[in-house]
Structure 1
């Protein structure tokens, strides 16, 4: 299973060229038709979320149910690797890479301000800016970044890892993991098309991250160091990011991505702990306990709420949008998590994502969201007004300005932003290199030349989109792509179940069933 033929890691032009063509097909209209192009993408997004919002909601809840059932079944003991395979990374580093690769810089934007948005426009016809709206504000932050997103991420990771490490199929691709259903058609045009869409989704997801990150860091740097905001500053920030994640991708998983993720988590823990210590501790703890209980008791209702009678836009604007966002990111996360999970069991992987991934997000929203909400409720800072008038970057800057040693904390926060996005970008470049390699196995890393090529392509796309101001249409078009990915995730689940039934209905692969995890 670990034998590789010469040339297995070479560039696969069948996937690489169509992927760039799909990307160009989306960016070109924004270049040629700067008004009509984004408008068409926005219209497509409104149609998809309006007509198929119910499907996104069903997909999210189904992912949670499917994984819980799989975890408690006997298949939860299946080791994703050979009889002698042990985990490649320590448990801490493994969780750190999963969390940083999946969340990226988005959480350092939204954890501060998302509860304020919910308070301004709460669900269930609650009065805006009321005490009840504040309770739902904390609850929905926990919900939108908790079990369901991580379940969506986890669904493709298991069949991909099973394909690579149990079945020994060559190719770190979504199409290969669907082999249990697609059969010989994996190597046909359908498989190439699927992988090309995955590549576009990854690049579009990176565009979304850049769209959140560059304005935030630019605003913080301007306020902290007195540098005037400009296109040149944005490009300089992007250049620093490119150098960071380019170096990380060059050194690979163990020496690059692992170290960056470990550093990221440690720095994030420090900032969250600092906020908790200097913040309203009792309010934060009470808010977290209350919001967790409210989410747990209303989980199914929140998961399925479409508001068919009053027709408020809250479900479409938030829950459907987020589920589509997570689904668009799912192929990248599935491929990356599968690659770093050799030697783990299926149950371990499910626990890592659903429990530890959710817990990490819950802590961010409980502490940072609770801190910001308390500023609003207590009257110390009118966060809502700043958010409405000046946007997210200025709001985060104002919140950080209320802290002791605000200058130092802002600098540390800027460093965290750089590392957080770099961990997402290096994961993305690594996945893109794997998908566009010929028949890479789970025991190989893609060629450095291909990894670096994708790092520079991502940077180039970022430069073009920043100049055009076209990040929002790329983000939106990526989410539109999530709709056809829903049946793809269903195919992956059926593929996994068919393989499990075939393999463990006989004695052939019983050595993959473990009752005790090997020592790391």
Structure 2
């Protein structure tokens, strides 16, 4: 905790010099280490496809005849919630505009081909391959908890290679747990550092207040109070209630934009996007988007680092709600519920931004290049009817998304950094609130350093050590399912079969 406090102070005091150093570090890492990011995602994706469709996919995370704790709709909604961070409200709007002027696959900027591919890379970066990184930690933790009956307070407990009292294994477990906290700090800090300037700009547009550092500091103060209250209230009273509102605001905002905007055009464009995504999936996976598409390649590495940073938090959460499901059901569910929920933001918000640009209603690319992401998002929302109401809904959505993500992450990090907890015991409240303060200070440092490239660098750096953690998790999963006992076929009585057909679609069996 002290170390992250020092890093936060350095970010606040670093200024332009630190910004340049971080940017240079990002260039070095993307040049020399990109094969590691690409390699782990490809290996992970292929392994989990094999796992899900092999005989091991029938292994149930729980007792052999145990039914899922939550039905499909409830489980899918909670998985949806974990993938929705306020960042996607912003990036799904601005990413397509970036690809429009820096198109992949050799297309010319602003050409018909550039519009055709503008939404494809973004949906790939939030699609099935990305979600399978979360699935690695989910399966490893779920197997340890529900099959091996091991209490998993920290991610290292789910890696069977590190089981045992040997001193070197204890050191490795401590190192991995520190790496997990480091990754979470990078992911959370980047999220808040990206989102606060946008919320500040939207509030400025809505209220007429000057968009200054003081407005941003006021927002940090409000977030600190909200996060502290939520984390202090605990898992059931605070975080659970926020998660429910998280779903309502996300779906509500998207539906408003879809039905107020050019509905048929957005639906038709998404059909073409899906076709181009799958037809170019191989090239996108290998990060081979053309010799003159450095932007698309760098953007994928940024997202790959970000998803890795969030892997432990999301894996632990989804594992907790997946008791009674088979490995196959979990994998297919994450690849559909999770990926589709994220891709829908690009389909609607990204599609609407491209519609505004192509129709000539507003030059969003010019705004993006001259005034930044925050101005673009405010401009897009103000084109909708009832703009003040829409701006207010957007700000409310962002706050709820942030509160859900940060509160849940603080809860989990405090668990990682606590002494041994008893069954059902929650981490100490003061420990949880201390991490909230550290999150806020670290994020404030990123905002003061400034620039989206700084945020990208933090994500790539934070995700780098988790490449090796992911590899250990894959080895652990293979070793566990290969040496474990395969599930016995469940006897299905007529009532059980009828009930199961309601809870689990045949597609997932």
**TM-score, L = length of structure 2:** 0.89
Cα distance in structure 2, aligned partners of 1:430 and 1:513: 37
Aligned to 1:68: 49
Q: Is the 8 A contact 2:14 2:449 kept in 1?
A: no
Q: For 1:96-134, what per-residue CA distance to the aligned partner results, in whole angstroms no more than 9, with x for missing partners?
A: 333333331111001112111111110122100011100
Q: Equivalents in 2 of 1:245, 1:283: separation in Å? A: 39
Does residue 329 of structure 2 align to residue 348 of structure 1? yes
| Pairing 1:324-363 to 2, within 5 Å after superposition | 324-363=305-344
Using the TM superposition, give the Cα deviation of residue 448 of structure 1 relative to its aligned residue in structure 2, in angstroms. Answer: 3.2
Alignment of 1:186-335 (within 5 A): 188-306=170-288, 310=291, 312-335=293-316
Query: Is the Cα–Cα contact under 8 Å of residues 112 and 372 in structure 1 kept in the other structure?
Result: yes
Q: Which residue of 2 aligns with 1:173?
A: 154
Alignment match, 1:438: 419
What is the CA–CA distance in structure 2 between the aligned matches of 1:352 and 1:225, rounded to whole Å?
42
Tell me, yes or no, if structure 1 residue 489 matches structure 2 residue 470: yes
Between 1:246-255 and 1:172-181, the stretch displaced more is 246-255
Residue pair 1:100, 1:264 contacting (<8 A) in 2 also: yes
Distance 2:442 2:135 in 1: 28
Deviates more, 1:278-287 or 1:409-418: 278-287
Q: Secondary structure at the match of 2:148?
A: coil
Cα 1:91/1:164, change in 2 over 3 Å: same
Instruction: Please say which of residues 249-258 and 347-356 is displaced more in the overlay.
Output: 249-258
Relative to structure 1, the CA distance from residue 486 to residue 464 in structure 2 (aligned partners, 3 Å threshold; closer, same or farther) is: closer
* TM-superposed deviation, 1:58: 2.3
> What secondary structure is seen at the aligned counterpart in 1 of 2:33?
helix
Question: Is the CA contact 1:138–1:287 (under 8 Å) kept in the aligned structure 2?
Answer: no
Deviations 1:490-517 (A, max 9, x none): 1111111111222216xxxx47989879
What aligned pairs does 1:29-108 form with structure 2 within 5 A after superposition? Answer: 29-30=10-11, 33-82=14-63, 87-89=68-70, 91-108=72-89
For residue 225 of structure 1, report the CA deviation from its aligned partner: 1.2
Q: Distance in 1 between matches of 2:181 and 2:123?
A: 29
Contact 1:204 1:475 in 2 (8 A): no
**2:61 touches 2:142 (CA, 8 Å); kept in 1?**
yes
| 2:190–2:446 Cα contact (<8 Å) kept | no
1:184 shift after superposition: 4.3
- Whether the 8 Å CA contact 1:100–1:424 is kept in 2: the answer is no
How far the C-alpha of 1:284 sits from its partner, in A, is 0.9
**Is 1:450 the counterpart of 2:434 in the alignment?**
no
Verify the 8 A CA contact 2:183 2:309 in the aligned structure 1: yes
Q: Flag the 1:153–1:318 CA change in 2: closer, same or farther, 3 A.
A: same
**Distance in structure 2 (CA, Å) of the matches to 1:268 and 1:429:** 22
User: What is aligned with 2:506?
Assistant: none
Deviations 1:337-380 (A, max 9, x none): 22333333322321232111111112111111111111111111
Partners of 2:64 and 2:490 within 8 A in 1: no
Q: Which residue matches 2:96?
A: 115
Secondary structure in structure 1 of the residue aligned to 2:119: helix
Contact 1:171 1:441 in 2 (8 A): no
Pick closer, same or farther for the CA change 1:206–1:133 going to 2, 3 Å. Answer: same
In 2: Cα distance, 1:307 partner to 1:374 partner: 24
Alignment partners' CA distance in 2, 1:446 and 1:497:
31
Name which of structure 1's ranges 441-450 and 420-429 shifts more when overlaid on structure 2: 441-450
2:131 paired with 1:150: yes
* 1:196-255 deviation per Cα after TM superposition (whole angstroms, max 9, x unaligned): 111111112111111111111111111111222233321222232233333333343343
The answer on whether the counterparts of 1:171 and 1:440 sit within 8 Å (CA) in structure 2 is no
- Report the alpha carbon displacement of residue 68 of structure 1 after superposing the two structures with TM: 1.9
Q: Spell out, residue by residue over 1:110-165, the C-alpha distance to the aligned partner (whole angstroms, 9 max, x if none).
A: 11121111111101221000111001002222211111111112111210121122
Residues 27, 448 of structure 1: alpha-carbon distance in 2 compared, 3 angstrom cutoff? closer
SS across alignment from 1:504: coil
Give the corresponding residue for 1:476: 457
Taking a change above 3 Å as real, the CA distance of residues 156 and 329 of structure 1, as seen in their structure-2 partners, is: same
Between 462-471 and 212-221, the greater mean CA deviation after superposition: 462-471
Mark the runs of 5 or more structure 2 residues left unpaired by the alignment: 504-509
Supply the distance in 2 between the matched residues of 1:514 and 1:59 (Cα, whole angstroms): 39
CA distance, structure 1, for counterparts of residue 475 and residue 422 of structure 2 = 22
Preserved CA contact (<8 Å) 1:30 1:470: no
**Does 1:390 pair with 2:371?**
yes
Q: For residues 465 and 486 of structure 1, do their structure 2 counterparts lie closer, same or farther at Cα, with a shift above 3 Å needed?
A: closer
Between the aligned partners of 2:422 and 2:336, the Cα distance in structure 1 is 28
C-alpha deviation, 1:443, in angstroms: 5.0
2:507 alignment partner in structure 1:
none
RMSD of the alignment, in Å? 2.8
